[in-house]
A and B are shown apart, each in its own frame.
Chain A
Amino acid sequence: MDAHATAKHDLERRSDLELIAAINRGEAAAFEELYFRYRDWVAGLAFRFTGHSDAAADVLQETFLYVLRKFPGFRLTANFKTFLYPAVRNLSIAARRKAERYQSSEAELERIEGAPAPEPSPGRGELEVVLARLPEEQREVLLLRFVDGLSLAEIAAAMDIPLGTVKSRLHNALETLRQDERTKEFFDH
Protein backbone atom coordinates (compact mmCIF):
# COMPACT_ATOMS: atom_id res chain seq x y z
CA MET A 1 0.00 0.00 0.00
CA ASP A 2 1.57 3.33 -0.98
CA ALA A 3 1.72 6.37 1.26
CA HIS A 4 -1.26 8.04 -0.36
CA ALA A 5 -3.48 4.98 0.04
CA THR A 6 -2.37 4.62 3.65
CA ALA A 7 -3.26 8.23 4.36
CA LYS A 8 -6.66 7.80 2.70
CA HIS A 9 -7.35 4.69 4.74
CA ASP A 10 -6.37 6.56 7.89
CA LEU A 11 -8.83 9.36 7.08
CA GLU A 12 -11.65 6.91 6.40
CA ARG A 13 -11.19 5.41 9.87
CA ARG A 14 -11.44 8.75 11.65
CA SER A 15 -14.68 9.78 13.34
CA ASP A 16 -16.50 12.96 12.33
CA LEU A 17 -15.16 14.66 15.45
CA GLU A 18 -11.60 13.71 14.60
CA LEU A 19 -12.02 14.94 11.04
CA ILE A 20 -13.41 18.25 12.26
CA ALA A 21 -10.49 18.66 14.67
CA ALA A 22 -8.14 18.01 11.76
CA ILE A 23 -9.93 20.55 9.56
CA ASN A 24 -9.60 23.08 12.36
CA ARG A 25 -5.86 22.45 12.15
CA GLY A 26 -5.94 23.16 8.42
CA GLU A 27 -6.08 19.68 6.88
CA ALA A 28 -7.83 20.01 3.53
CA ALA A 29 -7.75 16.23 3.10
CA ALA A 30 -9.91 15.84 6.22
CA PHE A 31 -12.50 18.20 4.75
CA GLU A 32 -12.47 16.16 1.55
CA GLU A 33 -13.18 13.00 3.55
CA LEU A 34 -16.02 14.70 5.44
CA TYR A 35 -17.46 15.99 2.16
CA PHE A 36 -17.56 12.58 0.51
CA ARG A 37 -18.87 10.98 3.71
CA TYR A 38 -22.01 13.20 3.65
CA ARG A 39 -22.25 14.29 0.00
CA ASP A 40 -24.84 11.78 -1.11
CA TRP A 41 -26.95 12.19 2.02
CA VAL A 42 -27.00 15.96 1.59
CA ALA A 43 -27.81 15.63 -2.12
CA GLY A 44 -30.66 13.21 -1.37
CA LEU A 45 -32.04 15.45 1.35
CA ALA A 46 -31.84 18.49 -0.92
CA PHE A 47 -33.67 16.53 -3.59
CA ARG A 48 -36.36 15.66 -1.05
CA PHE A 49 -36.85 19.38 -0.44
CA THR A 50 -36.45 20.77 -3.94
CA GLY A 51 -37.67 17.95 -6.15
CA HIS A 52 -35.02 18.79 -8.78
CA SER A 53 -31.61 17.23 -9.16
CA ASP A 54 -30.04 20.43 -10.52
CA ALA A 55 -31.30 22.42 -7.57
CA ALA A 56 -30.16 19.64 -5.24
CA ALA A 57 -26.63 19.87 -6.65
CA ASP A 58 -26.64 23.65 -6.11
CA VAL A 59 -27.84 23.19 -2.54
CA LEU A 60 -25.15 20.57 -1.95
CA GLN A 61 -22.46 23.01 -3.06
CA GLU A 62 -23.86 25.88 -1.01
CA THR A 63 -24.21 23.66 2.05
CA PHE A 64 -20.57 22.62 2.08
CA LEU A 65 -19.35 26.14 1.34
CA TYR A 66 -21.39 27.19 4.37
CA VAL A 67 -19.78 24.40 6.42
CA LEU A 68 -16.35 25.49 5.21
CA ARG A 69 -16.94 29.04 6.40
CA LYS A 70 -17.35 27.67 9.94
CA PHE A 71 -13.64 26.74 9.99
CA PRO A 72 -11.42 27.29 11.83
CA GLY A 73 -13.12 27.25 15.19
CA PHE A 74 -15.99 24.91 14.37
CA ARG A 75 -17.10 22.74 17.28
CA LEU A 76 -19.47 19.86 16.67
CA THR A 77 -21.73 19.23 19.64
CA ALA A 78 -24.14 16.73 18.08
CA ASN A 79 -24.57 14.38 15.16
CA PHE A 80 -23.16 16.05 12.03
CA LYS A 81 -26.46 15.36 10.22
CA THR A 82 -28.19 17.41 12.91
CA PHE A 83 -25.95 20.31 11.99
CA LEU A 84 -26.36 19.81 8.24
CA TYR A 85 -30.14 19.36 8.18
CA PRO A 86 -31.28 22.95 8.85
CA ALA A 87 -28.66 24.30 6.46
CA VAL A 88 -29.86 22.01 3.68
CA ARG A 89 -33.49 22.80 4.42
CA ASN A 90 -33.02 26.57 4.47
CA LEU A 91 -30.85 26.56 1.35
CA SER A 92 -33.40 24.35 -0.40
CA ILE A 93 -36.21 26.73 0.44
CA ALA A 94 -34.07 29.62 -0.84
CA ALA A 95 -33.34 27.71 -4.05
CA ARG A 96 -37.02 27.02 -4.62
CA ARG A 97 -37.91 30.65 -3.93
CA LYS A 98 -35.32 31.70 -6.45
CA ALA A 99 -36.68 29.27 -9.01
CA GLU A 100 -40.19 30.52 -8.44
CA ARG A 101 -39.36 34.19 -7.98
CA TYR A 102 -41.82 35.23 -10.62
CA GLN A 103 -44.69 33.76 -8.67
CA SER A 104 -44.68 36.50 -6.11
CA SER A 105 -48.07 36.34 -4.53
CA GLU A 106 -48.26 35.58 -0.84
CA ALA A 107 -50.23 32.47 -1.56
CA GLU A 108 -47.44 31.15 -3.74
CA LEU A 109 -44.85 31.91 -1.07
CA GLU A 110 -46.98 30.09 1.46
CA ARG A 111 -47.21 27.16 -0.88
CA ILE A 112 -43.49 26.86 -1.50
CA GLU A 113 -42.68 26.94 2.23
CA GLY A 114 -43.66 23.31 2.40
CA ALA A 115 -41.59 20.67 0.67
CA PRO A 116 -43.18 19.34 -2.49
CA ALA A 117 -44.66 15.93 -2.01
CA PRO A 118 -42.82 13.80 -4.52
CA GLU A 119 -45.27 12.69 -7.15
CA PRO A 120 -45.54 8.92 -7.01
CA SER A 121 -44.85 7.69 -10.49
CA PRO A 122 -46.78 4.75 -11.95
CA GLY A 123 -45.40 1.42 -10.93
CA ARG A 124 -44.03 2.63 -7.64
CA GLY A 125 -44.94 0.93 -4.40
CA GLU A 126 -48.00 1.82 -2.41
CA LEU A 127 -45.87 2.83 0.55
CA GLU A 128 -44.43 5.61 -1.60
CA VAL A 129 -47.90 6.74 -2.55
CA VAL A 130 -49.01 6.92 1.07
CA LEU A 131 -45.79 8.66 2.14
CA ALA A 132 -46.22 11.23 -0.61
CA ARG A 133 -49.63 12.12 0.77
CA LEU A 134 -48.47 12.58 4.35
CA PRO A 135 -48.12 16.18 5.52
CA GLU A 136 -44.58 17.31 4.79
CA GLU A 137 -43.61 17.78 8.45
CA GLN A 138 -44.80 14.26 9.34
CA ARG A 139 -43.11 12.69 6.34
CA GLU A 140 -39.84 14.44 7.16
CA VAL A 141 -39.84 13.28 10.78
CA LEU A 142 -40.65 9.73 9.69
CA LEU A 143 -37.84 9.65 7.12
CA LEU A 144 -35.30 11.26 9.45
CA ARG A 145 -36.13 8.72 12.12
CA PHE A 146 -36.38 5.49 10.15
CA VAL A 147 -34.36 6.11 6.99
CA ASP A 148 -31.67 8.51 8.19
CA GLY A 149 -31.48 6.96 11.66
CA LEU A 150 -31.61 10.13 13.77
CA SER A 151 -32.85 9.88 17.35
CA LEU A 152 -35.94 11.83 18.39
CA ALA A 153 -33.77 14.36 20.24
CA GLU A 154 -31.54 14.77 17.19
CA ILE A 155 -34.58 15.35 14.99
CA ALA A 156 -35.84 17.97 17.44
CA ALA A 157 -32.46 19.71 17.32
CA ALA A 158 -32.21 19.46 13.54
CA MET A 159 -35.70 20.77 12.92
CA ASP A 160 -35.53 23.22 15.84
CA ILE A 161 -38.83 22.03 17.26
CA PRO A 162 -39.76 20.68 20.71
CA LEU A 163 -39.23 17.00 21.35
CA GLY A 164 -42.95 16.62 22.05
CA THR A 165 -43.74 17.96 18.58
CA VAL A 166 -41.40 15.39 17.04
CA LYS A 167 -43.15 12.63 18.95
CA SER A 168 -46.62 13.76 17.96
CA ARG A 169 -45.66 14.12 14.29
CA LEU A 170 -44.10 10.68 14.30
CA HIS A 171 -47.08 9.21 16.11
CA ASN A 172 -49.47 10.76 13.58
CA ALA A 173 -47.41 9.57 10.64
CA LEU A 174 -47.30 6.03 11.99
CA GLU A 175 -51.02 6.12 12.70
CA THR A 176 -51.77 7.21 9.13
CA LEU A 177 -49.72 4.33 7.79
CA ARG A 178 -51.36 1.93 10.27
CA GLN A 179 -54.86 2.99 9.22
CA ASP A 180 -54.29 3.13 5.49
CA GLU A 181 -55.48 0.04 3.62
CA ARG A 182 -52.40 0.11 1.42
CA THR A 183 -49.85 0.10 4.27
CA LYS A 184 -51.56 -1.49 7.28
CA GLU A 185 -50.04 -4.87 6.32
CA PHE A 186 -46.68 -3.55 7.56
CA PHE A 187 -48.12 -3.46 11.10
CA ASP A 188 -49.29 -7.08 11.10
CA HIS A 189 -47.42 -9.29 13.51
Chain B
Amino acid sequence: MKIGHPEEQKLQAPPKLLAALHRLPREPIFVPLTVDEAVLNAARRQLGNRVERPFDWFRLMPWMAAVTVLVLLVFPAQFIIKAPSRQPSAAVFNREDLNHDGRVDILDAFALARQLKSGAHLNPQFDINGDGVIDEHDTEAIAAHAVSLAKGGRS
Protein backbone atom coordinates (compact mmCIF):
# COMPACT_ATOMS: atom_id res chain seq x y z
CA MET B 1 0.00 0.00 0.00
CA LYS B 2 1.35 3.37 -0.98
CA ILE B 3 2.28 5.78 1.77
CA GLY B 4 3.06 9.25 0.50
CA HIS B 5 2.70 12.66 2.10
CA PRO B 6 2.82 12.84 5.95
CA GLU B 7 -0.80 13.93 5.84
CA GLU B 8 -1.62 10.65 4.13
CA GLN B 9 0.27 8.79 6.83
CA LYS B 10 -2.19 10.17 9.38
CA LEU B 11 -4.89 8.48 7.40
CA GLN B 12 -3.27 5.09 7.65
CA ALA B 13 -5.11 2.26 9.34
CA PRO B 14 -3.26 0.73 12.28
CA PRO B 15 -1.80 -2.70 11.54
CA LYS B 16 -4.42 -4.53 13.62
CA LEU B 17 -7.24 -2.90 11.69
CA LEU B 18 -5.55 -3.58 8.37
CA ALA B 19 -5.16 -7.23 9.26
CA ALA B 20 -8.78 -7.46 10.37
CA LEU B 21 -9.98 -5.79 7.15
CA HIS B 22 -8.04 -8.30 5.09
CA ARG B 23 -9.49 -11.15 7.11
CA LEU B 24 -13.04 -10.03 6.42
CA PRO B 25 -14.95 -12.89 4.86
CA ARG B 26 -15.71 -12.11 1.26
CA GLU B 27 -18.92 -13.15 -0.34
CA PRO B 28 -18.10 -15.90 -2.80
CA ILE B 29 -19.37 -14.46 -6.06
CA PHE B 30 -20.26 -17.22 -8.45
CA VAL B 31 -19.56 -16.07 -11.98
CA PRO B 32 -21.53 -18.25 -14.39
CA LEU B 33 -19.57 -19.73 -17.26
CA THR B 34 -22.02 -18.05 -19.63
CA VAL B 35 -20.75 -14.64 -18.47
CA ASP B 36 -17.13 -15.60 -19.22
CA GLU B 37 -18.17 -16.95 -22.60
CA ALA B 38 -20.27 -13.90 -23.50
CA VAL B 39 -17.42 -11.51 -22.73
CA LEU B 40 -14.66 -13.55 -24.33
CA ASN B 41 -16.68 -14.39 -27.45
CA ALA B 42 -17.44 -10.71 -27.90
CA ALA B 43 -13.73 -9.97 -27.57
CA ARG B 44 -12.82 -12.60 -30.16
CA ARG B 45 -15.43 -11.25 -32.55
CA GLN B 46 -14.32 -7.65 -32.13
CA LEU B 47 -10.60 -8.20 -32.03
CA GLY B 48 -10.53 -10.33 -35.14
CA ASN B 49 -10.34 -13.88 -33.89
CA ARG B 50 -6.58 -13.81 -33.94
CA VAL B 51 -5.00 -15.34 -30.89
CA GLU B 52 -1.31 -14.54 -30.72
CA ARG B 53 0.76 -17.53 -29.95
CA PRO B 54 4.42 -18.09 -30.71
CA PHE B 55 4.60 -20.30 -33.76
CA ASP B 56 5.54 -23.83 -32.96
CA TRP B 57 7.85 -24.88 -35.79
CA PHE B 58 8.05 -28.38 -34.43
CA ARG B 59 4.45 -28.96 -35.44
CA LEU B 60 5.56 -28.83 -39.08
CA MET B 61 8.41 -31.30 -38.65
CA PRO B 62 6.43 -34.43 -39.65
CA TRP B 63 5.12 -32.65 -42.74
CA MET B 64 8.57 -31.42 -43.67
CA ALA B 65 9.95 -34.92 -43.39
CA ALA B 66 7.10 -36.37 -45.46
CA VAL B 67 7.50 -33.74 -48.18
CA THR B 68 11.26 -34.22 -48.31
CA VAL B 69 10.87 -37.96 -48.80
CA LEU B 70 8.22 -37.51 -51.48
CA VAL B 71 10.24 -34.88 -53.30
CA LEU B 72 13.26 -37.16 -53.34
CA LEU B 73 11.12 -39.96 -54.75
CA VAL B 74 9.03 -38.01 -57.26
CA PHE B 75 11.47 -35.53 -58.81
CA PRO B 76 14.03 -38.04 -60.12
CA ALA B 77 11.20 -40.04 -61.64
CA GLN B 78 10.01 -36.94 -63.51
CA PHE B 79 13.45 -36.36 -65.01
CA ILE B 80 13.67 -39.97 -66.15
CA ILE B 81 10.21 -39.91 -67.76
CA LYS B 82 10.90 -36.44 -69.20
CA ALA B 83 7.36 -35.32 -68.77
CA PRO B 84 6.46 -32.19 -70.73
CA SER B 85 7.05 -29.14 -68.61
CA ARG B 86 3.98 -27.34 -67.39
CA GLN B 87 4.20 -23.59 -67.26
CA PRO B 88 2.51 -22.12 -64.24
CA SER B 89 -0.44 -19.95 -65.07
CA ALA B 90 0.59 -16.32 -65.34
CA ALA B 91 -2.29 -14.91 -63.37
CA VAL B 92 -4.20 -17.63 -61.57
CA PHE B 93 -2.68 -19.26 -58.51
CA ASN B 94 -3.95 -21.83 -56.11
CA ARG B 95 -5.15 -20.30 -52.88
CA GLU B 96 -2.51 -22.32 -51.04
CA ASP B 97 0.24 -20.99 -53.37
CA LEU B 98 1.16 -18.12 -51.08
CA ASN B 99 4.48 -17.32 -52.67
CA HIS B 100 2.98 -17.45 -56.19
CA ASP B 101 5.69 -19.67 -57.57
CA GLY B 102 3.16 -21.80 -59.39
CA ARG B 103 3.28 -24.73 -57.03
CA VAL B 104 1.95 -25.63 -53.60
CA ASP B 105 4.74 -26.94 -51.46
CA ILE B 106 6.20 -26.73 -47.99
CA LEU B 107 7.62 -23.28 -48.82
CA ASP B 108 4.06 -21.94 -48.89
CA ALA B 109 3.47 -23.37 -45.41
CA PHE B 110 6.67 -21.65 -44.27
CA ALA B 111 5.55 -18.39 -45.89
CA LEU B 112 2.28 -18.43 -43.93
CA ALA B 113 4.08 -19.42 -40.74
CA ARG B 114 6.41 -16.44 -41.13
CA GLN B 115 3.49 -14.09 -41.67
CA LEU B 116 1.71 -15.49 -38.59
CA LYS B 117 4.84 -14.97 -36.53
CA SER B 118 5.28 -11.40 -37.76
CA GLY B 119 1.80 -10.48 -36.59
CA ALA B 120 1.10 -8.75 -39.91
CA HIS B 121 -2.45 -8.29 -41.11
CA LEU B 122 -3.40 -11.48 -42.90
CA ASN B 123 -5.49 -11.81 -46.00
CA PRO B 124 -8.73 -13.66 -45.09
CA GLN B 125 -7.99 -15.80 -48.16
CA PHE B 126 -5.29 -17.53 -46.07
CA ASP B 127 -7.95 -19.20 -43.94
CA ILE B 128 -7.20 -22.38 -45.81
CA ASN B 129 -9.17 -24.75 -43.60
CA GLY B 130 -12.13 -22.36 -43.46
CA ASP B 131 -12.49 -22.40 -39.66
CA GLY B 132 -12.64 -18.61 -39.42
CA VAL B 133 -9.21 -18.32 -37.81
CA ILE B 134 -5.85 -17.92 -39.50
CA ASP B 135 -3.40 -19.88 -37.43
CA GLU B 136 -0.96 -22.75 -37.49
CA HIS B 137 -3.74 -25.14 -38.49
CA ASP B 138 -3.78 -23.37 -41.84
CA THR B 139 -0.06 -23.92 -42.25
CA GLU B 140 -0.66 -27.58 -41.53
CA ALA B 141 -3.45 -27.64 -44.09
CA ILE B 142 -1.07 -26.23 -46.71
CA ALA B 143 1.56 -28.77 -45.76
CA ALA B 144 -1.02 -31.54 -46.03
CA HIS B 145 -2.08 -30.18 -49.42
CA ALA B 146 1.54 -30.08 -50.54
CA VAL B 147 1.99 -33.71 -49.57
CA SER B 148 -1.13 -34.80 -51.40
CA LEU B 149 -0.03 -32.88 -54.50
CA ALA B 150 3.46 -34.23 -54.30
CA LYS B 151 2.04 -37.75 -54.42
CA GLY B 152 0.34 -36.92 -57.71
CA GLY B 153 3.00 -34.60 -59.12
CA ARG B 154 3.47 -30.84 -59.07
CA SER B 155 0.47 -28.56 -58.91
Residues of B within 8 A of A46 (CB): 29
Interface of B is mostly: loop
Residue of A nearest to B3 (CB): A151
Interface residues on A, range: 35 or more
Residues of B within 8 A of A3 (CB): 53-56
What is the bound-complex CA distance between A6 and B27, given in angstroms? 33
Residue B145 at the chain A interface, CB threshold 8 Å:
no
Q: Give the contact stretch, choosing among B36-44, B66-74, B78-86, B100-108.
A: B36-44
Residue B21 at the chain A interface, CB threshold 8 Å:
yes
In the complex with contacts A4-B53, A35-B40, A53-B30 CB distance below 8 A = yes
In the complex with contacts A35-B40, A60-B35, A186-B17 CB distance below 8 A = yes
Q: Which residues 13-71 of B sit at the A interface, judged by CB distance below 8 A?
A: 13-14, 16-18, 20-22, 24-27, 29-32, 35-36, 38-40, 42-44, 46-56
Residue A165 at the chain B interface, CB threshold 8 Å:
no
Q: How many residues of B contact A (CB 8 A)?
A: 43
What is the bound-complex CA distance between A30 and B107, given in angstroms? 30
In the complex with contacts A28-B44, A186-B20, A61-B39 CB distance below 8 A = yes
B13 touches A146 (CB 8 A): yes
Residue B131 at the chain A interface, CB threshold 8 Å:
no
Residues of B within 8 A of A160 (CB): none
Residues of B within 8 A of A6 (CB): 54
B52 touches A151 (CB 8 A): no
What is the bound-complex CA distance between A22 and B54, given in angstroms? 14
Residues of A within 8 A of B124 (CB): none
B47 touches A56 (CB 8 A): no
A32 touches B40 (CB 8 A): yes
Can you add 10 more A-B contacts, CB < 8 Å, to A68-B43, A127-B24, A167-B7? A6-B54, A27-B51, A32-B40, A43-B29, A44-B26, A44-B29, A143-B21, A152-B4, A167-B11, A186-B13
Q: List 15 A-B contacts (CB under 8 A).
A: A4-B53, A7-B53, A28-B49, A28-B50, A35-B36, A39-B36, A40-B29, A47-B29, A61-B38, A151-B2, A151-B4, A152-B4, A152-B8, A167-B8, A187-B16
